[in-house]
Structure 1
Amino acid sequence: MRKLTSWLLILSSALLLASFVSPVGGQLVITSSFGEFRGTGNRGPHFHMGSDFSTQMRSGVPILAAADGWLVRIEIDEDDIYGNVVVLQHENGFRTLYAHLSGFAEQIKDVVNSVVSEFGKRRIVVEFPERSIWFKAGEAIGYSGQTGEAAQPHCHFEIRNSDETICYNPSDMLSVPKPADARFTVRGLIIDGERFDYVENRVYRFRGPWPKIAVDAVTSVGRNVIGLRSLKLYFDKDLVYHIDLGEIRLDEFNNVWAVYTENSVADGYRYSAYYKLYPDRVSSVVKFNKFPELGQLPSRTNVSIVCEDVWGNEYELKFVLERR
């Protein structure tokens, strides 16, 4: 039974990976990942609920349906976080959302022009009858832009469940090539509020029964930084805490302080976000938390933080904690 279950899980994962094609023509280049911290926008600090893909900073690039599906709605709004939006429903049970669009596909333009002429520049949401307007995989649903809070034109792409209560990590369901210049980078470590450079096997001091550890770690790709897929904290090889950014509920859109420290910054040009590896607020992305039963750590503890990038590669940070 265990072998059958494992096989079914592998098959299910393979089907998910095959479910979607690139929403951008040519080489798919990721510029921001799912679950990253965002500090700007009129909805306040929030999780990045999709992945961003490059259009080489050009507006007007066709944005493509990632699978066969019908039009659920369009959102016409240049000022909201998402800007202009198209949402499709797919036979596989998922919905996809495409944001920051500069324009819409030809078969939608008449509707857009009609409602804009009637209602003007205010936010407009138009819902469509089920299965009334279809798009084939690879067909343009709109064009890249920087409506909403986008600093540069790009493709913002989300995968949601059919009732739009959960967003899923697109990197788990798309074939996203790893750039040749991608490198894992640890940019800082915080222990009990004090900042340090990370040095492998270094001894760091802490107070109290156990330390509050936070780490700023990313994948650097050229001038972009890509957030992590998951982090696991071990004390003396014992798993203590696990953050997994495979999915985020929509009702946790603003619950970023459960995962990131409050000095995190992301404004389109700067990105510095420390992942909290200790319990602070309740979040569904925290998959394992042993701190309530941990008690007091020994005076000297070996620490390991296993970081997984969006391509499934793992990197281990190792250091030692000693009580002051």
Structure 2
Amino acid sequence: MKRKRLWRRILLSGITLLVLSSNICAQSERLLYPLHGTPLLSGNFGELRATHLHSGLDFKTGGREGLPVICVKDGMVARVKVSPTGYGNALYIEHEGGITTVYGHLSRFVPRVAKVVREIQYNKESFAIDENLVGRQLFFRAGDTIAYSGNSGSSMGPHLHFEVRETESEHALNPLNYLSVADETGPNVRGVYVYTFSREGVNAGARRVEVKNTGSRVYRGGKISVPAGNVGVGVQADDFMKDSWNKLGVYDMEVSANGEKIFELKMDRLSFDQSPLVNTIKDFHQYREGRYVYLAFGDCQSRLLGASNRQGGFIGVQKDSVVDVAIELLDINGNRSKVLFQLVGRQEAAGLDIPEGAEVLTCDREYNLRSGNYSLCLEAGALAYPVICKPRVCSREKDSTGVVEVFSLTERVYPLLKSARLSVEGDFPDKSVFCLLEEKGRLSPLNTVWRTGGLEASTRVLGEYTIRQDTIAPVILYTGVKGRRVQFRVFDDLSGIASYRVEVNGKWCLFTYDAKNRLLEGSLNEPVFVKGKNRLVLNVKDGVKNEAIFETDVYVK
């Protein structure tokens, strides 16, 4: 029996050592940098964005395109995607160890990848493709050039977008757990926001509090008077790496009240399915004004990977009581900043003065909001927080020539965590489009479909909507031949460019489309061009199938 116990201990010790050694190997596994030279970031993992949390790193390229992009580890090309928006030209490489790396906004691929891409584009007669390439056996060694950096897709300037994903789950992983960048200072704190709530749980307003750096990156906000009841806090903060002026997001944030942790956010892993949950940890309205404020409260926050809170992260403040609040911010290199202040309870919060015909929408219920022949259906869990809503149909001035009908739900725009179905009954002119009515009369068209007896659209925000008719075809401007590139500019008034087709001498021809610059161009080296005169026909359609056709002769020497 003693001998059996001895062998069991030896076996367990061996297994323990094996597990520890494998963990050490996993933790010490490093990747090459995807660009040559000292890495500088213009964006980091988990940054707050309009519709999502940033899923990778943005490497600066000095405002240049065409820098060699490096395979960071031995691997096989698993997928290629070409799009006029999003990541533009993107390459996905699968590696041993269960990770896939992604390289976006590329200007072009190396020849053996480009050959496969062109073959697929011509077979499908489409510039935009999204193709699985696992069976193509495109293998690259660590250090090989796989593509060249660019500014394709929705990129707002030349850079390389780089991601590490867990292959099985497709979760995005923080690349700075696989490679490092120089960062010697903790995050910057710009200010603290204090949120108070009515008895019904509706946000009664945000108050910005200045903080002072008292040394060693300890910021103090003093005593802050608040109504007794639930209080939420947020912090306007960012981070910088060495030798770069670009503002980066915060990696780790913890909030404590009277020494008890009530909130934590740690950016190590993201799920693309959870993109709308970005609006649970950012102040949506401050973000629209250009201020990045991280919220440390909300009933839906714990649904987001890396976020957790206790009792919704709300701080209960009693009348005449004092609560010590500490916010700790870290970057991935362990540099630390701290914010200290006190919440002092005064009079109790007042109840809401709810207008006639309005109601408080809560997060846990579904709603069918109607007025006239309009309706909007909300699923349970669609709201990030309670909102006052008053459905009504009203008229607004369109311009000096007349008015438009508006379906109004809320005076401000509020984010939704789930898409809502917007519909209207009645007969509408052909090519009618639902639009979100933004500030200063700006319109954001929604993808609208015809249903029996009306229109329907999907929306990700709660606000005011109107219907416009898009009868104007896209505009095509031919800018001529530059070098050996044939170029056009294409514009659309409302519903946007939905598709285009270029034929040369009666055959489909590959033309690339840069949506942000409205640039459509193709090369005279494409095989459908011949010496002498070539007949080129361009057909462009918008979102409601208005069509524009342009024909010209192109001469090739």
Q: Give the TM interval when normalised to the shorter protein.
A: 0.7 to 0.9
Displacement of 1:264: 4.3
- Give the conservation status (yes or no) of the 8 Å contact 1:34–1:48: yes
The AA in structure 2 aligned to 1:18 is E
Ranked by relative contact order (alpha carbons within 8 Å, sequence separation 6 or more), the top structure is 1
16-25 or 102-111, which moves further after superposition? 16-25
Deviation track 1:198-234 (CA, whole Å, cap 9, x = no partner) reads 2315111222423111111111354310111110001
Contact 1:164 1:250 in 2 (8 A): no
**Partner of residue 318, structure 1:** 340
User: Structure 1's 6 and 237: CA in aligned 2 closer, same or farther, altered over 3 A?
Assistant: farther
- The question of 1:228 aligning with 2:241 is answered no
1:78 and 1:148 in contact (8 A); partners too: yes
Matched, 1:191 2:213: no
More strand by share: 2
1:262 maps to 284
Deviations 1:109-151, CA, capped at 9 Å, x for gaps: 1112223344455420121135711111121121111111211
Letter in 2 for 1:76: V
Correspondence for 1:214 among 208, 219, 234: 234
Q: Could you tell me which of 20, 27, 34 is aligned with 1:23? A: 34
TM-score by length of 1: 0.87
2:232 touches 2:313 (CA, 8 Å); kept in 1?
A: no
> Which residue matches 2:292?
273
C-alpha spacing 1:264/1:18, structure 2 compared with 1 (3 Å): farther
What TM-score, normalized to structure 2? 0.52
Which consecutive residues of structure 1, in runs of 5 or more, have no partner in the other structure?
A: 40-44
Is the 1:19–1:92 contact (alpha carbons within 8 Å) kept by the matching residues of 2?
no
Identity %: 25
- SS class of match (1:191): strand
Structure 1 residue 24, shift from structure 2 partner: 1.0
Cα separation, 2, equivalents of 1:293 and 1:240? 5
CA RMSD in angstroms, aligned pairs only: 2.7
Q: Which residue identity does 1:93 align to in structure 2?
A: G
The match for 2:134 is 129
**Residues 167-178 of structure 1: pairs in structure 2 closer than 5 A:** 167-178=172-183
The alignment status of 1:305 with 2:327, answered yes or no, reads: yes
**1:257 touches 1:281 (CA, 8 Å); kept in 2?**
no
Rounded to whole Å, the distance in 2 between the matches of 1:176 and 1:26 is 12
Partner of 1:42: none
Using the TM superposition, give the Cα deviation of residue 248 of structure 1 relative to its aligned residue in structure 2, in angstroms: 0.8
Contact 2:240 2:246 in 1 (8 A): yes
Greater alpha carbon shift after TM alignment, 164-173 vs 270-279: 270-279
Larger Rg: 2
Cα offset, 1:285, TM superposition: 3.1
Distance 1:236 1:18, change over 3 A: same
CA separation of 1:320 and 1:261: change in aligned 2, threshold 3 A:
same
Give the match's secondary structure for 1:116.
Answer: helix
Residues 287 and 293 in structure 2, CA contact (< 8 A), matched pair in contact too: no
Q: Distance between the aligned counterparts of 1:148 and 1:122, measured in 2? A: 12
Helix, strand or coil for the counterpart of 2:276?
A: coil
- Provide the secondary structure at the position in 1 that maps to 2:253: strand
1:25-77 Cα deviation digits (max 9, x unpaired): 111112211111222xxxxx111111111111211011111111100011011
Residue in 2 that maps onto 1:12: 23
* Superposition deviation, residue 288 in structure 1: 3.1
Instruction: Go from structure 1 to structure 2 and tell me whether the alpha carbon gap of 1:33 and 1:19 turns closer, same or farther (over 3 Å shift).
Output: same
Deviations 1:290-311 (A, max 9, x none): 1259783352011111101132
The list of structure 1 runs, each at least 4 consecutive aligned residues, that deviate by more than 6 angstroms after superposition, is 4-7
Question: Do the aligned residues in 1 keep the contact of 2:68 with 2:146 (CA within 8 Å)?
Answer: yes
Aligned 8 A contact 2:45 2:174 in 1: yes
Shift of 1:321: 1.1
Which SS does the other structure have where 1:143 is aligned? Answer: strand
Q: Are residues 10 and 208 of structure 1, via their aligned partners in 2, closer, same or farther at CA, if it must alter by over 3 Å?
A: farther
Cα distance in structure 2, aligned partners of 1:274 and 1:6: 44
Residue 65 of structure 2, aligned match among 34, 59, 62: 59
Which moved further from structure 2: 59-68 or 122-131? Answer: 122-131
Change (3 A) 1:271 1:106: farther
**Distance in 2, Cα, partners of 1:131 & 1:112:** 11
| Whole-angstrom CA distance in 2 between matches of 1:247 and 1:293 | 21
**Number of aligned residues:** 311
Structure 1 residues 5 and 315: CA distance shift in structure 2, 3 A: farther
* 8 Å CA contact 1:102, 1:144 repeated in 2: yes
Query: In the aligned structure 2, how far is the partner of 1:233 from the partner of 1:121?
Result: 50
1:262-312 Cα offsets, whole Å, 9 max, x none, are 12438xxx9531111012424323543212597833520111111011322
Cα distance in 1 between the residues matched to 2:300 and 2:122: 46
Q: Contact between 1:189 and 1:216, CA under 8 Å: does it hold in 2?
A: yes
Q: Is the 8 A contact 1:47 1:253 kept in 2?
A: yes
Residue 235 of structure 2 is aligned to residue 246 of structure 1: no
Please give the secondary structure, in 2, of the residue aligned with 1:251.
helix
CA distance in 2 between counterparts of 1:202 and 1:130 reads 62
